[in-house]
């Protein structure tokens, strides 16, 4: 079994997460993505195994219009800074997954620009899908080309061209060698040539047998893409819809049907695939903006962690933040977030998800056991996961009233590991009164709540304590550079506090969010005051 079969994945849309400008003006590099380093303790508390980064490479606007597959977007940092981020994540036991946007590129992609400049004499004419010099494009070019889904700022590549494939494979090789990445999520995988996927699989698995390949698939038979010749997994959009609508409609039959259809022990059509499960992402409304009742949120996350497949969290949703598509824009789905602000949001939901992560890690049957439904009504669902001699029961009560749950069991003693309470058993049966809007994960032995509390961390040495920032004082970066603090300012658009500082080496003036300036890079303070 590979690492990704047991993984919890955390999904970040970097440009939004960092509050990067909407358009790339080709200016100076700004190291916004370094703020990920401050979130590493957060990832670890959630038992995250891998961070999936949305597009990080140089692009025109939103990242899915790539211009250079080997250069980190200057709005996020540079290759050196991203290499450091990957190294720090790996040092903390967290793997790195990148977004492979290979179906299309941006209009500033060098090979497209070459066609604009040279026309039919360009050596890259066969790099584009359905290029035609018989008429103008909607963007005013003296030729027509295919844009993805009618978007002509997204130029479709011809993935049957050997040169194109070589270019993309070379990029993947660079990512593996330079950043030591552990997997790729393929954007618009349903539009990509199967032979290209076969070549990618052969290349990646040849370099690293445990390299994870996951494709974005909206509709269709998932087996067409996820199989021994192509990808390891695909996005589970079928259950994404069922997870929220079965709660909104008070109809557990819907999600149970999908789970059984996909992964049921008696003939599930995807039972050999660990699908990528999610409740929201950068393309769809946040879960908290989709459900009819916020009380459903913990139940939905319990179900996502317990159902067959790989659970994932989209950044910020662990705190129940809201966000909807508005005016045909995804901006509200991709906000700039600061962890100290998040920690004042829905802490109960966050603690619930942290607990789910601990339980997921503790019980192999919950991760990869077979799914078997025991009892179902419109508003109650009970199923079990079985792996070897381990059985885990999962119970959900969607109703606004208490529910008496009775079921047969071969286990002499049971405990709800979510709540840490024993379940009454006798004569081969279990009895429990479920609270309204509640979920339970019921096991024979509580190895989560019985664990001793982690020791409180020792206080930091005085020189590493966060203190009031002093204008004119000298500070040393953890990489060795020394700077003078000029001022603490506020961002004119979002009121975020910024530290303005000047390099003592070359006089360059920089700005960085205060939370980053005073925070840590891994286990060390990013900046320390020089006495």
Q: How far apart are CA 274 and CA 7, in angstroms?
A: 10
**Which carries the bigger pLDDT value, residue 257 or residue 515?**
257
Using alpha carbons, select from 292, 289, 319, 314 the residue that is nearest to residue 304: 314
Mean pLDDT of 224-244: 98
Task: Convert the pLDDT of each residue in 140-199 to its tens digit.
Answer: 999 999 999 999 999 999 999 999 999 999 999 999 999 999 999 999 999 999 999 999
- % of the chain exceeding 90 in pLDDT: 83
User: At residue 456, does pLDDT exceed 50?
Assistant: no
User: At residue 23, does pLDDT exceed 70?
Assistant: yes
Average pLDDT, the chain: 93
- DSSP characters for 316-349? TGGGT-----BTTB-GGGS----HHHHTTS-HHH
User: At residue 465, does pLDDT exceed 70?
Assistant: no
**Which carries the bigger pLDDT value, residue 292 or residue 504?**
292
Task: Convert the pLDDT of each residue in 428-445 to its tens digit.
Answer: 999 999 999 999 999 999
Task: Convert the pLDDT of each residue in 358-402 to its tens digit.
Answer: 999 999 999 999 999 999 999 999 999 999 999 999 999 999 999
The domains of the chain, with CATH numbers, are: 365-443 (2.60.40.1180), 462-529 (2.30.30.320)
User: How confident is the model at residue 1, as a pLDDT?
Assistant: 82
Q: How far is CA 151 from the centre of its chain?
A: 25
User: How confident is the model at residue 493, as a pLDDT?
Assistant: 59
Weakest-pLDDT range from 185-189, 228-232, 463-467: 463-467
User: How confident is the model at residue 514, as a pLDDT?
Assistant: 82
CA distances from residue 31 to 19, 63, 79, 253 in whole angstroms, order as listed: 11, 16, 10, 48
Q: Per-residue confidence at 266, pLDDT binned at 50, 70, 90? A: confident
List the Cα angle 325/287/253 in 5-degree steps.
125
User: How confident is the model at residue 171, as a pLDDT?
Assistant: 98
Cβ atoms of 106 and 192 closer than 8 Å: no
Task: Convert the pLDDT of each residue in 354-365 to its tens digit.
Answer: 999 999 999 999
Q: Per-residue confidence at 531, pLDDT binned at 50, 70, 90? A: low
Task: Convert the pLDDT of each residue in 62-85 to its tens digit.
Answer: 999 999 999 999 999 999 999 999
Cβ atoms of 333 and 388 closer than 8 Å: no
254: its two tokens: 């819907």
User: How confident is the model at residue 480, as a pLDDT?
Assistant: 78
Residues paired with 230 in a beta bridge: none
- For strand 403-408 and strand 212-215, is the pairing parallel, antiparallel, or unpaired? unpaired
């Amino acid at each position: 079994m590979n690492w990704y079969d047991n993984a919890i994945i955390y999904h970040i849309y970097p440009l939004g997460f960092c509050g990067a400008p909407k358009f790339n003006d080709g200016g100076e590099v700004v190291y916004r993505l370094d703020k990920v380093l401050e979130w590493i303790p957060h990832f670890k508390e959630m038992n995250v195994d891998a961070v999936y980064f949305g597009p990080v490479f140089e692009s025109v606007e939103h990242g899915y219009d790539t211009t250079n597959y080997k250069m980190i977007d200057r709005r996020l940092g540079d290759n050196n800074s991203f290499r450091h981020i990957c190294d720090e994540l790996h040092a903390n036991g967290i793997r790195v997954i990148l977004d492979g946007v290979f179906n299309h590129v941006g209009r500033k992609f060098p090979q497209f620009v070459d066609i604009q400049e040279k026309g039919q004499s360009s050596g890259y004419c066969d790099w584009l899908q359905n290029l035609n010099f018989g008429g103008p494009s909607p963007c005013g070019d003296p030729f027509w080309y295919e844009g993805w889904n009618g978007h002509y700022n997204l130029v479709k590549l011809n993935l049957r061209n050997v040169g194109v494939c070589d270019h993309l494979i070379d990029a993947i090789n660079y990512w593996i060698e330079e950043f030591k990445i552990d997997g790729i999520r393929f954007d618009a995988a349903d539009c990509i040539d199967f032979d290209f996927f076969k070549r990618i699989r052969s290349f990646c698995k040849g370099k690293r047998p445990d390299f994870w390949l996951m494709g974005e698939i909206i509709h269709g038979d998932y087996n067409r893409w996820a199989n021994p010749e192509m990808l390891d997994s695909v996005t589970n959009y079928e259950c994404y819809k069922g997870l929220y609508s079965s709660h909104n409609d008070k109809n557990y039959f819907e999600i149970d049907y999908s789970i059984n259809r996909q992964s049921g022990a008696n003939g599930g059509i995807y039972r050999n695939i660990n699908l990528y499960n999610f409740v929201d992402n950068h393309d769809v409304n946040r879960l908290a903006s989709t459900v009819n009742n916020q009380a459903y949120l913990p139940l939905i996350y319990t179900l996502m962690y317990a159902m067959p497949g790989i659970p994932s969290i989209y950044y910020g949703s662990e705190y129940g933040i809201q966000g909807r598509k508005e005016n045909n824009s995804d901006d509200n789905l991709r906000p700039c977030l600061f962890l100290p602000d998040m920690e004042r949001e829905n802490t109960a939901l966050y603690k619930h998800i942290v607990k789910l992560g601990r339980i997921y890690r503790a019980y192999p049957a919950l991760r990869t056991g077979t799914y078997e439904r025991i009892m179902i009504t419109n508003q109650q669902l009970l199923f079990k996961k079985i792996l070897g001699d381990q059985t885990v029961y999962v119970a959900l009560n969607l109703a606004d009233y208490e529910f008496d749950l009775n079921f047969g069991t071969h286990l002499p003693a049971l405990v709800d590991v979510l709540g840490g309470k024993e379940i009454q058993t006798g004569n081969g049966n279990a009895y429990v009164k479920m609270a309204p809007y509640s979920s339970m994960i019921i096991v024979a032995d509580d190895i989560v709540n019985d664990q001793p509390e982690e020791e409180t961390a020792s206080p930091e040495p005085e020189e590493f304590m966060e203190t009031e920032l002093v204008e004119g004082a000298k500070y040393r970066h953890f990489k060795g550079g020394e700077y003078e603090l000029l001022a603490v300012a506020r961002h004119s658009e979002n009121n975020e506090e910024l530290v303005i500082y000047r390099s003592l080496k070359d006089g360059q003036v920089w700005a960085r969010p205060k939370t980053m300036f005073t925070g840590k890079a891994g286990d060390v303070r990013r900046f320390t005051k020089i006495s």
